[in-house]
Amino acid sequence: MASKTKKRKNRRPQIHTFKSLYEHLQWAIEVEHFTIPPYLCALWSIKEGTNPEAIEAIQSVVMEEMLHMTLVANLMNAVGIHPEIDRPGFIPKYPCRMPHSGDHFKVSLERFSKKAIHTFMDIEEPKKSGSPARAHHYHTIAQLYDAVAEGLEYLVCEHGEKKVFKGKSHCQVTPQHYYGGGGFVFTIDSLEKAQFAVREISEQGEGKVPDKIGTGSVFDGDEHFGQPPEPAHYFRFNEILLGQKYVREDTPISGPSGALFDVQWREVHQMQKNPKVKFAKSIPIRNKMNAFNEKYTELLRRLERAFSGEPHLIQKAVGQMFQLKYQGIELMRIPIKEGSKTMVGPSFEFYSPA
């Protein structure tokens, strides 16, 4: 660590101003949120009682993304800013590229399929060796976080830790407020903890940073939290694709060698791709879609408040998340029109009362 710090002093990193740090952190929370609606659509489209392994895998990833959102929010509060969540621009208009990335692929809201899982793996793809972060465009999520980590280090070097971590501690979400699996949330008030959070997010997503792709670990660094380690998101999706679990000894090159399981790709509600309220074929359907979006927007509003000085509100969000799920699944069962085999699905659009 010491030698690295020395080396970095010699050049100005991508993030070298407070403004740029704040901007990047807002991007980070947008990126963390970006993946949630597509993952939820795939998850909810799986017919109940089928595909337990796929459900468990996707669900666990979603839970970790929520934890990551919370950790980023804590990081933002640690440096004295609040995330902006409750606004139309926060929700991506699917299909679209991952925000602030150099990705060439678009991500859709779509049902569980091999294609969808491939897309998810593209999103969570581990960093290739030697690919540095570039202005405004990050090839992978880890690169964005690397830039944040370097920027934090640089700013602390330049201005001192106190000037950087000047946020109010009561704004932090603590384990008392947030407990939902996916690991423990923790408060951030120093460079060390900030770096730890950044590493945690990267590793859960992509695995321990490998020197070369193919030789690193498949598993994340969860043992920090006293919970058993799991394959990183990329590899958890790969398990679904291959119908086989990873074990500790496996590497990205070896592939999984654990228990086999069946994936029933047909046991899926035939949700239309990228639903939109404006294309609803009837008023009752439009109302149902709006009801979902209203709930979703309410949830974001609550999260923004929770991340802006009222962390206890996050507990109340639990019930909203469960309700959202049931409403989402309901939409998976409603045909887009009479007699159709294609189902409506949730559209995850910002709702503003007319």
Partner 1 sequence: MPEETYDVVIVGGGISGALLANKLAKKKKKVLILEAGLDAGLNPSTYKDYVDHFYTQQAKVPNSPYTNNSFAPQSNVLDIAKINPPNPETSGYFVQYGPLPFASTNTRSLGGTTLHWLGICLRMLPNDFCMKSAYGYGVDWPINYWDLKGYYEEAELEIGVAADVNDLRYPGTDKHFFGDFEYPKGYAQKGKKNKGKYLFPMHKIPPTYLDKYISKGLKGMKFQDGDDSIDIDVVSIPQGRNSDPNNDYNDPRTGYRYRPQGAVGKMHEGERCEGNSNCIPICPVQAKYTALKTLSNILSVKHSSVRLQSQSVVSKLNYDSNGKIQSISYKQYVRPGDLNGVKEKKVSGKLYVLAASPIENAKLMLASRAGRSSGQLGCNLMDHPYVLTWGLMPDPVGPFRGPFSSSGIPSFRDGRFRSRHSAWRTDIGNWGWIFPTIAPWSNVENRVDQNNMFGKKLRRTLYNDVQPQFRFGFLIEQLPQSTNRVIIDPKYTDALGNYRPVIYYDLSEYEKAGIAVAKAFSDQVMRRMGAADYTAYSPADPGYIEYQGKGYTYHGSGHIVGTHRMGSSRKDSVVNTKQQCWDHKNLYLIGCGSMPTIGTSNPTLTMAALTLQAGDHILKHLRKI
Partner 2 sequence: MKTKDDYESFLQLSAVITGYQRVDLLGTGVAWDYFTSFCSIVGKSISDELWQKSSKLLKRHKSNEEKLEKAIRVELLSDNKFGPLVRNLIKLWYLGQWDELPAHYRVTYGTTSKDVSHILSGDSYKEGLVWEAIGAHPMGAKQPGFGTWSSPPKPPDID
> Cβ of residue 275: shortest distance to partner 2, in angstroms?
15
Nearer to partner 1, 105 or 326 (CB): 326
> Cβ of residue 60: shortest distance to partner 2, in angstroms?
17
Q: Quote the CA–CA distance of 198 and 141 in Å, as a whole number.
A: 11
Q: Which of residues 32-91 bind partner 2 (CB under 8 A)?
A: 48-49
> Cβ of residue 299: shortest distance to partner 2, in angstroms?
12
227 binds, among partner 1, partner 2, none (CB under 5 to 8 A by kind): partner 1
Nearer to partner 1, 89 or 175 (CB): 175
The encoded tokens of residue 268 equal: 């899926």
Q: Which residues are 205's β-sheet partners?
A: none
> Cβ of residue 55: shortest distance to partner 1, in angstroms?
10
Q: Which stretch binds partner 2 (CB under 8 A): 152-160, 218-226, 271-279, 317-325?
A: 317-325
CB of 86 closer than 8 Å to CB of 123: no
Q: Quote the CA–CA distance of 90 and 31 in Å, as a whole number.
A: 10
Q: In degrees rounded to 5, what are phi and psi of residue 106?
A: -100, 150
Give the residues lining the site for partner 1 (CB under 8 A): 49, 52, 56, 59-60, 63, 175-176, 179-182, 226-228, 230, 322
Q: Establish if 306 lies at the interface with partner 2 (CB under 8 A).
A: no
Q: In degrees rounded to 5, what are phi and psi of residue 310?
A: -125, 60
User: Which residue shows structure tokens 């000037």?
Assistant: 163
Q: Quote the CA–CA distance of 91 and 246 in Å, as a whole number.
A: 33
The encoded tokens of residue 100 equal: 């602030």
Q: Which stretch binds partner 2 (CB under 8 A): 64-72, 134-142, 158-166, 319-327?
A: 319-327
Interface residue with partner 2 among 40, 61, 194, 331 (CB under 8 A) is 331
326 binds, among partner 2, partner 1, none (CB under 5 to 8 A by kind): partner 2
Q: Which residues are 343's β-sheet partners?
A: 271, 335
CB of 141 closer than 8 Å to CB of 206: yes
Q: Which stretch binds partner 2 (CB under 8 A): 116-124, 258-266, 280-288, 303-311?
A: 280-288
CA-based angle 317:321:326, to the nearest 5? 150
146: enclosing H helix or E strand: helix 141-159
Nearer to partner 1, 49 or 339 (CB): 49
Nearer to partner 2, 105 or 326 (CB): 326
CB of 289 closer than 8 Å to CB of 278: no
CB of 300 closer than 8 Å to CB of 292: no
User: Which residue shows structure tokens 């060390």?
Assistant: 192
CB of 96 closer than 8 Å to CB of 132: no
Q: Establish if 242 lies at the interface with partner 2 (CB under 8 A).
A: no
60 binds, among partner 1, partner 2, none (CB under 5 to 8 A by kind): partner 1
334 binds, among partner 2, partner 1, none (CB under 5 to 8 A by kind): partner 2
List contacts with partner 2 (CB under 8 A). Answer: 48-49, 282, 284-285, 287-288, 315, 318-319, 321-323, 326, 330-331, 333-335, 338-339
